[in-house]
Structures are given as structure tokens and as C-alpha cells.
Amino acid sequence: MELTLISFIDDIELASYNNIQKQIISKIPWATKAVGVDSITQIRDLLIYHERHVSWMMHYLAKNDTNPNRNHTGQLLADCEIDKDITVKSHIHLIWDGEEYYRIDEEIGQWELLKPEFKKYLHILESPIWTNLRKLYMNQFCVDLMRKIVGYSSLRDNVPPEVTVSRHVSPEGSIILSCTATGFYPQSILLRWEKNGKLGIWGKETSTGILPNMDNTFYLQLTLELPPEDSGMGYTCVVEHIELKTPAVYPVPENPTVKKPWTLALGIVLAVILLLSCARAFIKWKKKKSETTETLSYHLES
């Protein structure tokens, strides 16, 4: 049996755990400081302790399967949402082989049965032991951890995005426009393409999604691929962020973006090395030819 835990905050992976390594791996460096080493150790120890309970539950649910060799997947999805210091939402979903069988809204406190054939297990979920554990763990490891993370991340000052816009021509002849915003905080941001000041669907848009940087700031790239018949003229990238006060407009350069300086420098260095190598080879050949001529001349004289 494999036990895996993945934790997300605002669709960004925060940490993961599996029962093979028995370690919690933080995906965002500052999250360890926000949550605290003691809390992370406590969560890991609880996961190790409850592994046998999860194993028992998996075998118990799978015992009526007519095919004993079939693999099964059980999922417990817990989510909570806070606004400042107030808990807005808190849910638990129980999923078996990709289908949701039970869910509960913590505010209501009553399990909702979604698959009638699983009614026989409802008494386990409603037992005092499971109810008390559910409330304790949801408060301690969802709501409280969320408050710590949000409280830690809000200690930093707001930072406006650094925006760069580029224009490239693909080998197929289409125009590729890229708008990159990085180093901004908080993460809420909006990027959009306009042509001659108007919104529209101009081509194929792709986005990286908002991703975390190593310094607690965020990154987002929006790309627009235009058909070959579109010249790419008149396009702008409009960026909205709390630190910009008003939407900022960044025009697309008229000419394709030049290669990076280091790429040109590398090309020049390679060219110089090649030239020097050729010159050295030519000098060696000339010298060798000169030495050969002198030797022949000597023998002829004798």
C-alpha cells in the first residue's frame, strides 16, 4: 500500500509526503519557517502513526470486491478557506476509486451520503472517535496552518511586478508575443492582450499560471501565438496589480526581440577561438612546409 499526502495553498503545491520516504518535502522554502519545524514533525509522526489505520480501512472497503487482485484508490480531500482570521469554508470529501461517496460541510456538521451502497459505513464516520478526530485535525492542520502561512506571507511588503514584453517569429512563420510579470506580491494579478486599445480573441493564448519564486514573490507569463498573416503590430500587454494603482500598458516591440547579449558574446568568443585555431593551424603548416623545404635542399647539396 502506498500512502501519499499533497498539500496546496491557492492551487500552488506547498508540501508532499509518502510512506516510502516518510518525510515531508516542502515545495516552497519559506513554508517551513511559516509553519514551524515542530508542527511539520508532528504532522509527519501522525501520518506514520495513522498508516496502519488507513491500511485497515483500505482492506476493509475492498474485502467485498469479486476481484481480489484489483488495485484500489482511496482519497480524503480536506479543504478550508479563511478570510483574514475568519473561517469561511471547511469541507471533507471521501473518494473511492475516483467516485465521491461522502462529504461534509464542517459548518453544518452532518455527513452527506452520495452513494446509497455505502450507507453501511456511515456509522463509522458518525462515531464519537472519528467526529472528535475530524474536528481536531481540521482545525489544527487545515485552518490553523492556513492562518500561519497567510500571517507569515503577509509580513512582507507589497511589490509591483517587473514586466517584459517580447516578440518572436516561430519557424512556421507565426508571431509569438510573450508578456512576463515577475517579482510581484501579493499574487493577485491580471495580464491581458489588447490590439489598438481593444480587447479580442487574436490568436492562441497560453499561460504558465501564477507560480512562486524563491523569494516569496510570484511569476506569470502570458503568451499569444498569432497566425502568419497577422503582422503583430499594435499589440500591448495590459497588467493590473494592486501596487500599480492603475492598469499599466506595455507595447510589443515592432521588431523581433534580439538575441540575449550573452548569446551574442558566446557566438563572438566561439568565432574568435575558431579563427585563432585556424591561424595556429596555418602557422604550423607553414612552418612545417618551411622545415621540409630546408631539409630537401640540404640533401640535394650533398
Full 3-state SS string of the chain = CCCEEEEEECCEEEEEEECCCCEEEECCHHHHHHHCHHHHHHHHHHHHHHHHHHHHHHHHHHCCCCCCCCCCCEEEEEEEEEECCEEEEEEEEEEECCEEEEEEECCCCEEEECCHHHHHHHHHHCCHHHHHHHHHHHHHHHHHHHHHHHHHHCCCCCECCEEEEEEEECCCCCEEEEEEEEEEECCCEEEEEEECCECCCCCEEEECCCEECCCCCEEEEEEEEECCCCCCCCEEEEEEEHHHCCCEEEECCCCCCCCCHHHHHHHHHHHHHHHHHHHHHHHHHHHHHHHHHHHHHHHHHC
What lies within 8 Å, CB to CB, of 261 at 6+ separation is: none
Give the integer Cα–Cα distance in Å for 8 and 16: 9
Q: What is the pLDDT of residue 48?
A: 92
Q: The C-alpha cell of 220 is what?
A: 506569470
Structurally, at CATH architecture level, domain 162-251 sits in: Sandwich (2.60)
Summarize the confidence of residues 140-157 as an average pLDDT: 79
Q: The C-alpha cell of 98 is what?
A: 475516483
Q: What is the pLDDT of residue 291?
A: 35
Do 4-153 and 162-251 have matching folds?
A: no
Give the integer Cα–Cα distance in Å for 293 and 297: 6
pLDDT tens per residue across span 211-231: 888 777 899 999 999 988 888
Beta-carbon-side half-sphere exposure of residue 74 (alpha carbons within 13 Å): 16
pLDDT tens per residue across span 249-268: 999 998 776 444 434 344 43
Give the integer Cα–Cα distance in Å for 238 and 269: 39
pLDDT tens per residue across span 277-294: 444 544 443 444 333 222
pLDDT tens per residue across span 175-204: 999 999 999 988 899 999 999 999 888 899
Q: Which amino acid would we find at residue 273?
A: I
The better pLDDT of the pair 32, 244 is held by 244
Q: What is the pLDDT of residue 153?
A: 66
Domain ranges of the chain: 4-153, 162-251
Residue with cell 461522502: 102
- Most confident of the following: 56-70, 98-112, 140-154, 203-217: 98-112
Q: What is the pLDDT of residue 176?
A: 93
pLDDT tens per residue across span 92-137: 999 999 999 999 999 899 999 999 988 988 999 999 999 999 999 9
Task: Provide the whole-model pTM.
Answer: 0.56
pLDDT of 19 > 70? The answer is: yes
Q: What is the pLDDT of residue 299?
A: 28
pLDDT of 270 > 80? The answer is: no
Q: Domain spanning 4-153 has what CATH number?
A: 3.30.500.10
